[in-house]
Structure 1
């Protein structure tokens, strides 16, 4: 079911019934990156899978990551309708979820932050600057190979040509200006001083082969959050829910089951 929230600015697909669970996609992908886990999760939750601002049919917003987080917070409040919500973010969606939890402390009762962090190393910051500059000078096709490498290890790409074709096509639909603005925001991001304000339980996940947001970022994030646990998903890179849906579902199962039982 297609739904529109936040005064018509955020488009989302909704599946199933139960407590609301929001799935926020990564920068180099789209909401279809959750398709493999929707069938199982929708048996226990009302899934709301938005297109982040500037992606798909959702209206872009100026003002950096904070403004994106505020827009999604508006959508979450409206879609949840007063029910307690869980927010799961992957990659860029994880940064949005974390920024949202900092700026809107009552927005969620639990967070799942998959393959993100609180701040990048200087090498990581420079990677975003380079991608933004190259996409501005030559267009998104010039950085598609780099983008796919940040999502999936080369071996996985070679073994799944159909999936990779689909992921390349999805990436090339991204608005270049939205992509460049997101890269600029991530290159400057440092949420570490504010993590103590996130009081809700957090499950921090990361693929052991993630090159975009390497495991040390997740270890730091879990260590600095007041109530967090860390799980590393073996054999996966930046989008484990696409690469190994069963492993991803297994990693989040107990955390979500506890929330479902309490609802």
Structure 2
């Protein structure tokens, strides 16, 4: 069931009953990246999967990642009726969730930050700047191969042609201006000095072969958070919940359940 949150600005799918659990998707994907795990999560939680601002039917916001985080905080409060919620973010969604928890300390009871971090290395920042430049000059089509490589290892792409066709189509539906604004925000982001303010329990997950947000970023993130533990998901890249849903759900055991 779809519903509108935050005064009609955020579109979200909702299923199941129980404590509210929000799933924030990555920049190079969409909310369908959680389709393989949402049904099982919905047996224990009221699972809410929003389209982040500027994606799908959710309205865009100006003002960088802070504005995106504030909009999503409004959506979380709306859907959770003001109670603290569990928020799981993958990739860009993880950065949004972390920024939201920093700016709105009361918003989350627990966080799961999958394939995310607090700041990119200089090569990582340059990758975002390059994607902005090429997409502006030649369109999103020109960086689709790069985007898919950041999501999935080449071997996985070869073994799952139908999934890759779907994921390419999802990426090409992204609003180019929203994509470039997010890339600009991530290229300059540094939340490391604020990690100590996040007092809630955090599970940091990362795919062993993630090229977009490599494992050292998750090591640094977990080390900077007061109440975090890190788990590496073997054989996976940037979207482990799509690549190996069962492994991803097993990694959540003991933290969510």
Distance (whole Å) between structure 2 residues aligned to residue 6 and residue 78 of structure 1: 6
Correspondence 1:106-125 to 2 at 5 A: 106-125=106-125
TM-score of the superposition, structure 2-length normalised? 0.99
Offset, 1:218: 0.1
Instruction: Note the residue ranges of structure 1 that are not aligned, 5 or more in a row.
Output: 258-263
Give the corresponding residue for 1:49.
Answer: 49
Give the corresponding residue for 2:212.
Answer: 212
Distance (whole Å) between structure 2 residues aligned to residue 241 and residue 46 of structure 1: 18
Aligned length in residues: 257
Distance (whole Å) between structure 1 residues aligned to residue 217 and residue 211 of structure 2: 11
CA contact (8 A) 2:195 2:225 kept: yes
Give the corresponding residue for 2:200.
Answer: 200
Offset, 1:187: 0.2
Structure 1 window deviating more from structure 2 (74-83 vs 150-159): it is 74-83
Give the corresponding residue for 2:168.
Answer: 168
Distance (whole Å) between structure 2 residues aligned to residue 174 and residue 215 of structure 1: 26
Offset, 1:83: 3.2
Give the corresponding residue for 1:91.
Answer: 91
Distance (whole Å) between structure 2 residues aligned to residue 66 and residue 164 of structure 1: 31
CA contact (8 A) 1:19 1:83 kept: no
Q: Secondary structure at the match of 1:43?
A: coil
Give the corresponding residue for 1:24.
Answer: 24
CA contact (8 A) 1:19 1:84 kept: no
Give the corresponding residue for 1:150.
Answer: 150
Give the corresponding residue for 1:251.
Answer: 251
Distance (whole Å) between structure 2 residues aligned to residue 194 and residue 39 of structure 1: 34
Q: CA RMSD in A?
A: 0.5
Instruction: Note the residue ranges of structure 2 that are not aligned, 5 or more in a row.
Output: none
Offset, 1:14: 0.1
Offset, 1:197: 0.4
Give the corresponding residue for 1:260.
Answer: none
Give the corresponding residue for 1:226.
Answer: 226
CA contact (8 A) 2:83 2:107 kept: no
Per-residue CA deviations over 1:197-236 (Å, capped at 9, x if unaligned) read: 0000000000000000000000000000000000000000
Offset, 1:82: 3.1
Distance (whole Å) between structure 1 residues aligned to residue 176 and residue 84 of structure 2: 35
Offset, 1:254: 1.1
- Deviation beyond 3 Å, 4+ runs, structure 1: none
Offset, 1:84: 3.0
Correspondence 1:235-246 to 2 at 5 A: 235-246=235-246
